[in-house]
Chains A and B, each alone.
Chain A
Amino acid sequence: MTRKSADHLAHFALTIISKDRPGIVADTSEVLYRLGCNIADSSCTMLGGDFAMILIVTHEKPFSKARLADEFRALQERTGLAVHLRTLHDDELSPVDDAGELCLISVYGSDQPGIVYRVTRALADHKVNITDLNTRLIGTKEEPVYVLMLEAILPAGMSVDSTAAMMEPLRKELNVEIGVRAITPVSL
């Protein structure tokens, strides 16, 4: 990808989900390459039997969303993947600048409804900003275990210890393990 002033670029959020097979990324990036689009930011992973791609795509202005949509409609018809496309606004182009501690919060225990909701609601109520999250159902049919791992930026003044203390009542109520660890990158 080439870097230029964002003013000259149209930004789009592109989401693609497909039954997993080799070649999904190649098919997608081929379309983008032929159109002259850049992949500015992306996160792609396997979820269940699907492969999910979320990409921020840019193109020199002028460029119409319709052109991108047309190309992906053709790919959709050819390969059956599901595509969603959205134009990004200027205030969505760079991440919210949070200077607080980055921490990893691990939650795991017997599967039950509401683990994700209760944990993330508690965090949101304390202005903790989630930057990454993934979940997985593991264990056996008889004893399903739910694992939630997330990374989040703590607001100014909030420490790893105070976050752990804040989660303690929830840990007891849901009877799950909750760990909070600092993972703020070290600058070398």
Chain B
Amino acid sequence: MPVQKILTFPHPLLKKRAHLIARVDEHIRGLIEDLVDTMRAGPGSVGVAAPQIGVSLAACVVDVSNNRHGKENNHGLLIMLNPEIVAADGSAVMREGCMSVPDYTGEVERATAVTVKYLNLHGEQQTVAASGFEAVAIQHELDHLDGILFLDRIVSLKTGLFRRKNYQ
């Protein structure tokens, strides 16, 4: 099963927390293949999470190496099972869009550097320290595993900057 259809909101799976993967088997390897194929097929896509293709398991893939924001600073293809952010630093706002929420973009604040722990396809514990756009993409995909969409994280209307009289 190669390229899968990307689910769009209001599909309920997109707002559900994905289940942890208990064992890395053929089924999981097939799922990862689908995720990679689906990511490669999406125009400009830099990541896909399993819930986006209808599978409520904690698996996602990220690859920003072909993106202009990420090509100088990346780990190539990241295949992450049961990923977890164990450290985060810095913050920056970027305007994000998502294949599961077409025709909308919004300003989202993310950490500029994250350390993420996950299992690879051999079930081995891995740790990766990512920064810049790769860190943003990882946070976006990991959010999908928690049932969080970028819409839940929009920090401001694009014109909001000038509306505030009281800065906090």
Q: In the complex the two chains form, is B137's CB within 8 Å of A188's CB?
A: yes
Q: In the complex the two chains form, is B159's CB within 8 Å of A187's CB?
A: no
**Which residue in B43, B136, B159, B163 is a CB contact (below 8 Å) of A186?**
B136
Q: How far is the CB of B84 from chain A (nearest CB, A)?
A: 19
Listed stretches B7-15, B19-27, B91-99, B116-124; interface member: B91-99
- Cα A136 to Cα B164 in complex, Å, equals 12
Q: How many residues from B make CB contacts under 8 Å with A?
A: 26
Encoded as 1 (CB less than 8 Å from any B CB) or 0, chain A from 163 to 188 comes to 00000000000000000000111111
**Which residue in A147, A184, A185 is a CB contact (below 8 Å) of B162?**
A147
- Cα A136 to Cα B67 in complex, Å, equals 36
Q: In the complex the two chains form, is A186's CB within 8 Å of B47's CB?
A: no
Q: How far is the CB of A96 from chain B (nearest CB, A)?
A: 15
Q: How far is the CB of B37 from chain A (nearest CB, A)?
A: 17
Nearest A-chain residue to B143, judged by Cβ: A188
Q: How large is the interface on A (under 10, 10 to 19, 20 to 34, 35 or more residues)?
A: 10 to 19
A45 lies within 8 A of chain B by Cβ: yes
Chain A positions 30-50 with a Cβ under 8 Å from a chain B Cβ: 45-46
**Which residue in B46, B159, B162, B163 is a CB contact (below 8 Å) of A188?**
B46
Known: A185-B96, A187-B98. A149 touches B163 (CB 8 A): no
Known: A188-B46, A188-B136, A188-B141. A149 touches B161 (CB 8 A): yes
**Which residue in A132, A147, A187 is a CB contact (below 8 Å) of B99?**
A187
Q: How far is the CB of A181 from chain B (nearest CB, A)?
A: 11
B158 lies within 8 A of chain A by Cβ: yes
Known: A183-B95, A187-B45. A46 touches B163 (CB 8 A): yes
Which residues of chain B have a CB within 8 Å of any CB of chain A? 42-47, 67, 69, 94-99, 105, 133, 136-137, 140-141, 150, 158-159, 161-163
Which residues of chain A have a CB within 8 Å of any CB of chain B? 45-46, 132, 134, 136, 147, 149, 151, 183-188
In addition to A186-B95, A187-B46, 6 A-B residue pairs with Cβ atoms within 8 Å of each other are: A132-B159, A149-B159, A186-B97, A187-B45, A188-B137, A188-B150
